[in-house]
């Protein structure tokens, strides 16, 4: 293989500029991937034969004995035209994270089809983390061989001179990238419904296989095809992009954790982190449900609900939007520095307090209109945003919520959505029938 060492691919920043304001998104948001310390036994399959467990945090040690060029951070130095394993020709760089880079390649052994390849840095802890992710991907392939649950399918993996490489089908933009290109204009309510339904179904599949994703966010949801049409919205008096198909695929299982494995105390990207994680009182599948609720809100409004980088401010935002954190959760937490006499130790008169007061309001205040669709959406959000994970709605129940009734009808056509630029609404196939689920009983249980 020929590597042009004179050319170095420039790094791309993984920070996101966003603001919690309804009108702007200017605050910096770092979404670098952090691999948590977990104790796992890994039985490798495929072309790698090593067996390892999650290592404790150490200084980065790049393998300098590799016969291919690495940069100082352990990234593989490659440029368009380079060929790996006499099979994959690099075409372009798609993205970069703490773990490594994702490149677009032509796969000579799959009829020259286009694939996405995740190339892990040649650093021990990231190699070990990648092999753990491969374990999860193998489980997904085994349990869902035909890709019916919208979880990305691993096509192949191999060790290339110390770089673990994993290949996948190439999809479109992430939900976040589409929002960003569209100036964070929200999706129509029916596209919010369709994306949310698929996401709930995907994550339920993981939960049923004793897995928690732990890093759900718009960056990790890809459109199958992000081709869009430019529509002039009369109500906003501007042109917006409307994605033609809202079919999605869930990606990035590098932090996914089996029920029987060690659970790191802190998981999830900050803005999608559940209260039980903030309080460090233990987490399980319900922490994914909280993250999904944050994502649904973001699809609906175009804005991040909890735009902060500080634990205390984060909990103050939660209380401003959802009400007080239950006392029994506070009592259980060892994070006593955040509380005084059983209440959040927060001052509304500080600069941070004024910021939260100005930018956060009661959840239902964000409703765009008071129609049945919007009411049902926010009803579902409130069930997902239950502080107590014991009573937070599970995904099997969520999929039966009235907001998703059209998908529970035998007459539903999940993919037929169009946009009416007169009303700023999306429309899909008419949903038939009601749901016989006993929601009154559920609400009484969750209170």
Q: Which CATH superfamily is domain 175-446 in?
A: Transferase(Phosphotransferase) domain 1 (1.10.510.10)
Asked whether the beta carbons of 348 and 354 are under 8 A apart, the reply is: yes
Asked whether residue 49 carries a pLDDT value surpassing 50, the answer given is no
Two tokens, residue 187: 């999706």
At 379 the pLDDT is 98
pLDDT digits over 148-191, tens only? 999 999 999 999 999 999 999 999 999 999 999 999 999 999 99
Average pLDDT value for residue range 330-339: 96
Show which residues are catalytic: 215
Q: Which residues contact 270 (CB under 8 A, 6 or more apart)?
A: 29, 306, 308, 309, 314
pLDDT in tens, 97-127: 889 999 999 999 999 999 999 999 999 999 9
- Cα–Cα distance, 215 to 210 (Å, whole number): 16
Q: State phi, psi for 404 to the nearest 5 degrees.
A: -105, 20
Query: Given the structure tokens 């509380």, which residue do they identify?
Result: 339
CA 266 to chain centre: 16
The reply to whether 118 sits in an annotated binding site is: yes
Q: Where are the domains of the chain?
A: 40-169, 175-446
pLDDT of residue 306: 98
Average pLDDT over residues 320-326: 98
The token pair at 323 is 């009400």
SS (H, E, C) 46-76: CCCCCCCCCCCCCCCCECCCCCCCECCCCCE
Q: Do domains 40-169 and 175-446 have the same CATH topology?
A: no
What distance in Å separates the CA atoms of residue 334 and residue 352, rounded to the nearest whole number?
Answer: 23
pLDDT at 63: 52
Helix, strand, coil share of the chain (percent; to 5) = 30, 20, 50
Q: Is the pLDDT confidence value at 85 over 70?
A: yes
- Reported as a pLDDT band with limits 50, 70 and 90, residue 233 is confident
Tens-place pLDDT, residues 265-314: 999 999 999 999 999 999 999 999 999 999 999 999 999 999 999 999 99
Average pLDDT of the segment spanning 363-374:
96
On the CB side of 111, CA atoms within 13 Å amount to 0
Determine the Cα–Cα distance for residues 431 and 403; give it in Å rounded to an integer: 10
Contact between 360 and 348 (Cβ < 8 Å): no
> Which range is least confidently modeled, 22-31, 366-375, 426-435?
426-435
Q: How many CB atoms lie within 10 A of CB 22?
A: 12
* 295 vs 304: CA distance, rounded Å: 8
Query: Looking at per-residue confidence, does 346 or 14 come out higher?
Result: 346
Taking the C-alpha atoms of residue 366 and residue 381, their distance in angstroms, rounded to an integer, is 12
* Residue 422: predicted pLDDT: 42
pLDDT for 386-445, tens place per residue?
Answer: 999 999 999 999 999 999 999 986 444 444 443 444 444 443 333 333 344 454 544 544
Q: What is the pLDDT of residue 238?
A: 84
Residues sharing a CB contact under 8 Å with residue 92, sequence separation 6 or more, in sequence order? 80, 103, 104
Pairwise CA distance, residues 197 & 403, whole Å: 9
Tell me if the pTM is above 0.85: no
What pLDDT sits at residue 440? 54
- pLDDT at site 265: 95
Q: Give yes or no for a contact between 84 and 20, defined as CB atoms under 8 angstroms apart.
A: no
| pLDDT, the chain, mean | 83
Instruction: Give the list of residues 6+ apart from residue 405 with CB closer than 8 angstroms, or none.
Output: 431, 433, 434, 435
Q: Look at the domain 40-169 and name its fold.
A: Phosphorylase Kinase; domain 1 (3.30.200)
């Amino acid at each position: 293989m020929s590597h042009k060492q004179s050319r170095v691919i420039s790094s791309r920043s993984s920070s996101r500029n966003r603001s919690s304001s309804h009108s702007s998104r200017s605050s910096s948001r770092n979404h670098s991937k952090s691999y948590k310390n977990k104790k796992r036994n890994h039985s490798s399959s495929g072309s790698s034969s090593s067996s390892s467990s999650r290592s404790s945090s150490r200084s980065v040690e790049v393998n300098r004995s590799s016969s291919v060029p690495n940069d100082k951070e352990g990234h593989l130095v490659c440029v368009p035209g380079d060929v790996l394993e006499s099979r994959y020709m690099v075409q372009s760089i798609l993205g970069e994270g703490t773990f490594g880079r994702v490149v677009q390649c032509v796969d000579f052994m799959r009829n020259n089809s286009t694939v996405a390849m995740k190339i892990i840095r040649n650093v021990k802890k990231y190699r070990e983390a990648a092999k753990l992710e491969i374990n999860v991907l193998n489980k997904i392939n085994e349990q869902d061989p035909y890709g019916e649950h919208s979880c990305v399918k691993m096509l192949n993996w191999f060790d290339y001179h110390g770089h673990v490489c994993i290949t996948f089908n190439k999809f479109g933009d992430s939900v976040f990238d589409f929002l960003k290109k569209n100036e964070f204009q929200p999706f129509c309510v029916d596209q919010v419904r369709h994306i949310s339904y698929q996401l709930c179904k995907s994550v339920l599949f993981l939960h049923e296989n004793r897995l928690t994703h732990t890093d759900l966010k718009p960056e990790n949801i890809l459109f199958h095809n992000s081709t869009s049409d430019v529509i002039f919205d009369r109500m906003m008096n501007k042109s917006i992009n409307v994605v033609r198909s809202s079919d999605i695929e869930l990606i990035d299982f590098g932090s996914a954790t089996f029920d029987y494995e060690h659970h790191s105390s802190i998981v999830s990207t900050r803005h999608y982190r559940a209260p039980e994680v903030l309080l460090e009182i233990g987490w399980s599948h319900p922490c994914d449900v909280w993250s999904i609720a944050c994502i649904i809100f973001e699809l609906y409004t175009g804005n991040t609900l909890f735009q902060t980088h500080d634990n205390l401010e984060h909990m103050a935002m939660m209380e401003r939007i959802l009400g007080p954190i239950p006392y029994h959760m506070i009592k259980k937490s060892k994070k006593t520095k955040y509380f005084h006499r059983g209440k959040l130790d927060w001052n509304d008169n500080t600069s941070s307090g004024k910021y939260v007061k100005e930018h956060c309001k009661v959840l239902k205040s964000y409703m765009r209109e008071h129609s049945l669709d919007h009411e049902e959406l926010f009803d579902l959000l409130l069930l997902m945003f239950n502080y107590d994970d014991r009573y937070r709605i599970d995904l099997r129940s969520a999929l039966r919520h009235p907001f998703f009734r059209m998908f529970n009808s035998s007459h539903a056509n999940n993919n037929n959505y169009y946009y009416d630029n007169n009303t700023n609404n999306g429309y899909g196939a008419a949903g038939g029938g009601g749901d016989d689920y006993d929601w009154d009983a559920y609400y009484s249980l969750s209170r």
